[in-house]
Structure 1
């Protein structure tokens, strides 16, 4: 059984036209029809359900990982899955003096196998990303049982020879990834989907449609897991 994976920075549902419209993001998710979706920059007042991402016939389970919480809203990472969630952990990977960041570490029962998904959104400065990459790799090495593991999200890194990408490629293997940012004219491969073992991922494709090019400042990135 193959799985369709996706990662998507939805930019608080604010499109490239400056309009906040959760329905457009919901429609893009329906276009993608992924089995497991990592979302970044999700903002909601009470629950993710109010954004409509888990409805509309998709029947998705939602795992939330807010990193910034105020009286008015919650903001951070969300993982959506068609399959039951067995275990979840929310990991704090914040860097001193910078915006709070996190990762969701989730085990999902995909019929005949368990798949581990780590969904994250790294910081904007090099030292921050280097520190967060070290924490994520430590998290990966600390799991003794050998189950397929996916790390996906907005890595905020594009320079192929930078230390964070070199460290990730050393663990997961070097895999090409298409540019996903900015959404209208993508030039930078900020969004990534890695898998260990790497042979389980057959292809990575940016989801570029008239709607996705306006719904957020990032394009979704999809992959097929065998």
Structure 2
């Protein structure tokens, strides 16, 4: 098996180059992501600032070619300031596990997912269990791009593995994605540790490069679904990565149940305890009403989807809720969680 493709420095405009057909091999610390745009949108990154690393890999069993792109903006990573001189307009963020595009009825219906996001008036969305692209028989389909088009947003995709069988029989690269009403820069996909033979997990991050909260970074992850010990290793690796960043939030499916109530903090699982010790606020625990269960969507029993904000920058958080409704119960097997907050000037210092 050949080694990984050599690293080359390229500008964003030079992405359309020659193709080398080779198997995908990725170092343990590789950070790769696919960056996209909705129809009529643009890449918002300056080639003088952004180094683009490209590694193309060949899936022999399907005869399909994929391009993995890494964008890294050294001027944004580690920044401790938001580019705002006053209190910003509220930003709505959402975390949503979309069940590999399959609704509770097994149908792929991008319109339903778009409706859920539109009803919540979300600005930045972290998605779990995303296939991009999707193979349906011999046909290539990009529902992630279609969803971005419907919402008028840009997107970034961070692959963590390959799905050969997905309920309805769809296949494709699987991972996390970010949707944003504002341009994204500094897109990085970090592979997380896990047990041999287990599903590879990752954390995708990007920075809002313009808009009222330019400089804010969004991260989305999906932790192991079997062992709390593995989830603990993964969240520690994620926290190490997040320690390099300024203002940010972390969202996703943690596969760890959270509890609501006056004594809930006494019974936190290790993963959630680690988040609290690292200085993160669970938005729903702080502001949500009721149990806030997110899974399964029709009759939820557990709260396993979270929005976390560093307490240092959580001053402007003023809403958190788990969404419910007829469409929400059909669109996925998870319910989404949304939070809204504004960044006071004091939080950006």
CA distance in 1, matches of 2:248, 2:208: 10
Structure 1 residue 165 and structure 2 residue 272: aligned? yes
CA contact (8 A) 1:23 1:52 kept: no
Per the alignment, do residues 104 and 47 of structure 1 end up closer, same or farther by CA in structure 2, a change over 3 Å counting?
farther
Structural RMSD (CA): 2.0
Gaps of 5+ in 2: 1-88, 135-139, 165-170, 259-266, 343-349
CA contact (8 A) 1:49 1:55 kept: no
Per the alignment, do residues 174 and 51 of structure 1 end up closer, same or farther by CA in structure 2, a change over 3 Å counting?
closer
Q: Secondary structure at the match of 1:114?
A: coil
| Matched residue, 1:122 | 223
Q: Secondary structure at the match of 2:340?
A: strand
Number of paired residues?
222
CA contact (8 A) 1:42 1:77 kept: yes
Q: Secondary structure at the match of 1:173?
A: strand
For residue 35 of structure 1, report the CA deviation from its aligned partner: 0.4
Per the alignment, do residues 192 and 25 of structure 1 end up closer, same or farther by CA in structure 2, a change over 3 Å counting?
same
Which stretch shows the higher mean deviation, 98-107 or 158-167?
158-167
CA distance in 2, matches of 1:139, 1:116: 12
Structure 1 residue 155 and structure 2 residue 230: aligned? no
CA contact (8 A) 1:180 1:186 kept: yes
For residue 184 of structure 1, report the CA deviation from its aligned partner: 1.1
CA distance in 2, matches of 1:49, 1:173: 32
If you compute each CA radius of gyration, which structure gives the higher value, 1 or 2?
A: 2
- For normalisation by structure 2, the TM-score amounts to 0.59
Structure 1 residue 76 and structure 2 residue 175: aligned? yes
Runs (4 or more) in structure 1 with deviation over 6 Å come to none
CA distance in 2, matches of 1:82, 1:210: 25
Gaps of 5+ in 1: none
| Matched residue, 1:213 | 329
CA contact (8 A) 2:320 2:340 kept: yes
Q: Secondary structure at the match of 2:255?
A: coil
- For normalisation by structure 1, the TM-score amounts to 0.90
